[in-house]
Structures are given as structure tokens and as C-alpha cells.
Amino acid sequence: MKKLIVVNLILLVPLAVFCYTLVQLIPLVVRYIDSMNISVLYVHPDYNKLAVVVIGNRSNSAEQMDHQVYVFERKVLSPIRKYIFLSELKENSRQVLRQKSLAYGEVQYPKQTITLQGKDGQTVITFKVEDVREGSIEILFYNSLFPLPDRMVFLYTSLLIVSFFIISGSLGGISDYTQRVVFHETKGFSYLFKSIRKSFGRSVLICLFFSIIIGAVVANIYFYIFIMSADISVFIAAINFWMLVFFLFILLWVFPIFAMSGDESIWKVMKKSLFISFDNFDFTLITLLVLFLMGIISVLTLFIVPGFAGTFSFLNTSLKELSSRYSSPETVV
């Protein structure tokens, strides 16, 4: 346990930098995605957090759009979200939206700049709508606290990249080190650093691959649920959700197998991980549940217990148990 805690403490600083910069940059990325079709030009100083909702009518001609637009305070949006999706079907839903909104109006044509005034006659917001598809619902979350100054965006992005490389490059070595502990092979901390140095590049490639894939899938789910809410959006989001589960199944055993397989290609390691996940489906689901609980505990303890080392120790112990189910190494292909 002491060894695992020390390993977690080694990664504590780059992990803290990564989490802090990620929290600072995610709102900027979300705002950029949200503003692809809706650009905010002015907001009254009294409002810091707003939600702009544009509901695309189905009976639009190419020349006449006539979309409905509402502006809400962010705290009001969640309780009335169902009325947004029912607004095209029920007049009383539109009445609720008008009552709860700070301002409302219509978008008549593409690339229109529209100014909405509140009930007191003051201008609430001025924004530009590029285009809205028929039958879709687009939501822009506005926060006056962003964006950050350009120099801070550059600094945070640089720190995020550096900390990501440090953490991702260390995971392969940490998995190898904890595997030696699980298999009762006595290894000093010098082995940990040697293993990190040996596997650094391939470990970064694994993390980079899964970060891009999983990030793209999560972005798709967010886009089709919150930004492009058309009839087919839920179906597409569901497909992306199961893609996310699929890649999590591949990722689950990658680092333990990576540590065990020596110089095998990353592609072959992922194939083995996928095979083990689906060949032991119930065991994999239980393992994922335990990892979820371990993740919650790690967040509460600032990743000191169980953290990365404890998680890899658990995964290596689980893989050791699974290995006994196969009669020979050739069984896993």
C-alpha cells in the first residue's frame, strides 16, 4: 500500500495541473461548439448566464424561416426543458416558454441579427443566427465570465498538453510496476522509472488514441442531444453511446496486457483486450462497476487512494484471475 501511495504522489502535481487547465478550457470548447450557429453580440450586464433556445419550425419555406427563439436564465432552463420539446405540438407549452423566458421572438431568415427586449423594454440580448434546420432545436449556453484572455488560453493549453504527456507516458510504466507487485516480484522504485522510460512513447500513443476516439464520441453525444436536437438526434446519440461502451471495453485491459505482452504491437494488445472483455462479459461488467466506485473514491481522496496505482493493481489482479481460465497463452489471440 505504501508503494502504491508513493506512486500516486509522484503523479499528483501533473494530475492537478491537468485537471485545473481542463476545467478552465472545457467551457471555451463547449462555447465554441454551441456558437457554431448562434453568435452572441451583446448581453445586458445584469445577466451573467443565459440559455438561448432556437426552435426550428417544420413548415418553413426557403425564403421564410419563422423560427421561434427564447432567452432564459440558465437556472430556469432545466425545469422547463420538457416544454421546449413539446412546444411544436402544444400551444400551452409555448405559453409556458413565453412566461418563463426573459425575452422571445422570431428568426425570419438565415444569418439574421436579432435583438430581443425583456418585459421592461430593456435590451436583453443581441445575437446572430447563421442557420437552423427544420424540426431541430439548438441551445446556446452563454456565460459572461468567458472567454479567457488569449495569453491565458495559450498558457493553459500548453500546460494541459505537457501534463497530459507526463501522465499518459507514465501509465504504461505504472501498470508494469504494479503488475510486478501483484505477481509478487520484488521491484524497487528504480524499476518504476526504468519501465516508464521504456514504455513512455507507446503509452502516450495508447492514451492519445483513446482520448481522441472517446472525446469525439462524447462530443457527438453532446452535439446531438443539446445542439442539434432533431428527430434522429436521440438515435444517433444512442449509437454513439454504445460506441463509447465498446471502446471502454477495449481500453479496460489494454495497460495490464501491454505490461504483460512486452514488445507486441499496440494493435495486437487492443485485440487481446477486446477478446478478454467479451469472452468474460459478466466479469468485465463487474470490473467496470468496481472501477467506477474506485474512481469516485479517487476523486474524493485527490487520487491518492486508490488513484492510478491502486486502479492498475486491481486491474492486474483481475487479469491474473482471468489468465487462469485459459489453458495456454495461445488461447488469447
For 102-159, write each residue's pLDDT tens digit: 999 888 777 788 899 988 888 999 988 876 677 677 788 887 665 667 788 899 999 9
Quote the pLDDT of residue 145.
60
Residue 254: name the closest of 235, 237, 271, 278 by CA.
271
What Å distances lie between residue 25 and 43, 89, 163, CA to CA? 22, 38, 14
Q: Which of 251, 240, 250, 244 is nearest to 275 (CA)?
A: 250
Amino acid at 216: A
Q: Are 17 and 163 in contact (CB under 8 A)?
A: yes
pLDDT in tens, 154-197: 999 999 999 999 999 999 999 999 998 888 876 678 899 999 99
- The distance from CA 153 to its chain's CA centroid, rounded to whole angstroms, is 19
pLDDT, residue 277, reads 92
pLDDT of residue 20: 94
Buried b (16+ CB within 10 A) or exposed e, 258-287: bbbeeeeeeeebbbbbbbbbeebeeebeeb
pLDDT of the residue at 332: 45
Q: If you search the block for the grid coordinates 445584469, which residue do you land on?
A: 46
* d(C-alpha 76, C-alpha 228), whole Å: 21
- The helix (run of H) or strand (run of E) holding residue 38 is strand 38-43
DSSP 76-96: HHGGGHHHHHHTTT-HHHHHH
Number of alpha carbons in the 13 Å side-chain half-sphere of residue 72: 24
For the chain, how big is the Rg over CA atoms in Å? 25
- What is the pLDDT at residue 34? 61
Neighbours of 210 (CB within 10 A): 17
Q: How many CB atoms lie within 10 A of CB 7?
A: 23
**Residue ranges of the chain whose pLDDT lies below 70:** 33-36, 58-65, 87-89, 131-132, 135, 144-148, 186-187, 226-231, 327-333
Global pTM value: 0.72
Task: State the Cα–Cα distance between residues 158 and 139, nearest whole angstrom.
Answer: 30
CA-CA distance, 30 to 147, in Å (whole number)?
Answer: 11
